[in-house]
Amino acid sequence: MSAIDIDQVSKRYGAVNVISDLSLKVQSGEFVAFLGPSGCGKSTLLRMIAGLERVDGGRISIGGERVDQLPPGARGVAMVFQHYALYPHMNIYDNMAFGLRNIALPAAEVDRRVREAARILEIEGLLERKPGQLSGGQRQRVAIGRALVKSPKAYLFDEPLSNLDAALRVRTRIELARLHQQFRATTIFVTHDQVEAMTLAERIVVMNARKVEQVGSPMEVYSRPASEFVARFVGSPAMNFLPVTISDRGGFAAARLGEGSDIVTRVPVNAPPQGAKLRLGLRAEAIRADPEGSLTGQIEVVERLGDRTHLYVRLKDGSSIVAEDKGLSDAATGAEARFRVDPEAAHLFDETGRAFHAA
């Protein structure tokens, strides 16, 4: 497998800049997810790597070879699309063999590759069927198999699970993870689903408004988001944000909430710019129901999830937060409750959205 180098790549549609001077390196054998909302540029970037979109500036290299001026078939990549793109008149065997026959691979080698991919994906019994006779999950496995038989330099996945129901998404996600562990293939996976990115990728590239917000491991992105956008987009429920004023408490920022409570964070007090309007960021698991806690509010909604319970709480100043309690919680709608805040998990954000974390 081969590394993918994206060097100051730009893409324009007329006067509109879709991507501007974006640089990124995907290591050989790495699984990277492009994560972001619709319109952020993630699929456009993937299509430029595949050769389905023209690069207007910069360069793309795969395995040390510049490819942005090569046609798609000469780049050594295999792409799996959201909508499968199977030939309805061909059986599954012929769908998987089609690309190999086009490059005049010997029939014995075509047969070996198709049957080996079918064995790995557990679709050996489907090879004589037509796509219309398969379920959505089976068709997606065929699309993955068609990419697998090519033995490419890199695999490119464009939201391949979005058309599957919830159960099939989980199963197919596990299959993809297993395949990557088996083959250690260089893989780029485009998704708007944070769960897919968090569970599959070794690194996540979070994109927003046609630029990269953060690149990091799943837990780096989750626990130390680079911006307010990342903190809101990654994690469910989204991070809580509360306007605060800060003071110095032993070198750390003590954040005063609107209702008067002080939360002594582990963020250095001199990290945010002086005089900046700041917001305190707390994930739900950092706000735990505790009779001895210093934060008080009224429970408006109780969301029971089995292993944990989310509490939607209105604080005294009218602001809202989502807190967490144990699975077998006795919390009740309308009740007053107290909460304990984990200072190690507190973040501060300035008015530009820049994040400041515990030292």
Instruction: Give the residue-averaged pLDDT of 163-190.
Output: 86
Give the separation between CA 234 and CA 207, rounded to whole angstroms.
11
pLDDT at 73: 86
Q: Can you tell me the mean pLDDT for 14-31?
A: 93
* Separation of CA 64 from chain center: 27
Residue 335 confidence (pLDDT) above 70: yes
Least confident of 20-29, 66-75, 162-171, 220-229: 162-171
Predicted local confidence at residue 164, as pLDDT:
77
Residue 291 class from Cβ within 10 Å (0-12 exposed, 13-18 middle, 19+ buried)?
A: exposed
Same-domain status, 332 and 221 = no
Given a cut of 80, whether residue 326 has pLDDT beyond it is: yes
| Total structural domains within the chain | 2
User: Crossing angle, helix 166-183 and helix 107-121, to 10 degrees?
Assistant: 120
Better-predicted residue by pLDDT, 241 or 210: 241
Mean pLDDT of all residues in the chain? Answer: 92
Task: Let me know whether 56 and 201 are in one domain.
Answer: yes
Same domain, yes or no, for 55 and 114?
Answer: yes
| 3-state SS record for the chain | CCCEEEEEEEEEECCEEEEEEEEEEECCCCEEEEECCCCCCHHHHHHHHHCCCCCCEEEEEECCEECCCCCHHHCCEEEECCCCCCCCCCCHHHHHHHHHHHCCCCHHHHHHHHHHHHHHHCCHHHCCCCHHHCCHHHHHHHHHHHHHCCCCCEEEEECCCCCCCHHHHHHHHHHHHHHHHHHCCEEEEEECCHHHHHHHCCEEEEEECCEEEEEECHHHHHHCCCEHHHHHHCCCCCCEEEEEEEEEECCEEEEECCCCCEEEEEEECCCCCCCCCEEEEECHHHEEECCCCCEEEEEEEEEECCCEEEEEEEECCCCEEEEEEECCCCCCCCCEEEEEECHHHCEEECCCCEEECCC
| Identity of the residue numbered 99 | G
Residue 39 sits in the same domain as residue 187? yes
In this structure, are strands 154-158 and 186-191 parallel, antiparallel, or unpaired?
parallel
CATH number at residue 260: 2.40.50.140
Q: What is the structure's pLDDT at 183?
A: 84
In this structure, are 287 and 148 located in the same domain?
Answer: no
Mean pLDDT of 37-65: 94
Question: Do residues 72 and 184 both lie within one domain?
Answer: yes
* Boundary residue ending a domain (178, 206, 233): 233
- pLDDT tens column, 60-99: 999 999 999 999 989 999 998 877 788 999 999 999 999 8
pLDDT score, position 179: 84
- Indicate whether 283 pLDDT > 70: yes
Tell whether the model's pLDDT for residue 138 goes beyond 90: no
Please indicate, yes or no, whether residues 228 and 267 belong to a single structural domain of this protein.
no
- Is the per-residue pLDDT at 144 higher than 90? no
pTM of the predicted model as reported, rounded to 2 decimal places: 0.89
Q: Which residues pair with 348 in a beta bridge?
A: 280, 356
pLDDT band at 193 (very low <50, low <70, confident <90, very high): very high
Burial of 264 (0-12, 13-18, 19+ CB in 10 A): middle
Placement of tokens 């090879």 in the chain: 127
Q: Is the domain of 276 the same as that of 209?
A: no
- pLDDT on residue 1: 60
- Asked if 111 and 140 sit in the same domain, the reply is yes
| Confidence class for position 162, pLDDT limits 50, 70, 90 | confident
Provide CB contacts within 8 A for 287, sequence distance 6+: 240, 295, 321, 322, 323, 324, 339, 340, 341, 342
Last-in-domain residue among 203, 233, 263? 233
Q: Do 295 and 351 fall within a single domain?
A: yes
Contacts of 71 (CB under 8 A, 6+ apart): 51
259 lies in which domain range? 242-356
Final residue belonging to a domain, choices 233, 267, 285:
233
My answer on whether 300 and 183 are in the same domain is: no
For position 191, which CATH number holds? 3.40.50.300
CB burial readout 178-215, b (16+ within 10 A) else e:
ebbeeeebbbbbbbbbbebbbebbebbbbbbebebbbb
Tokens 């739900």 sit on residue: 284
* 101 and 206 both lie in a single domain: yes
Shortest CA distance to 283 belongs to which of 308, 248, 253? Answer: 308
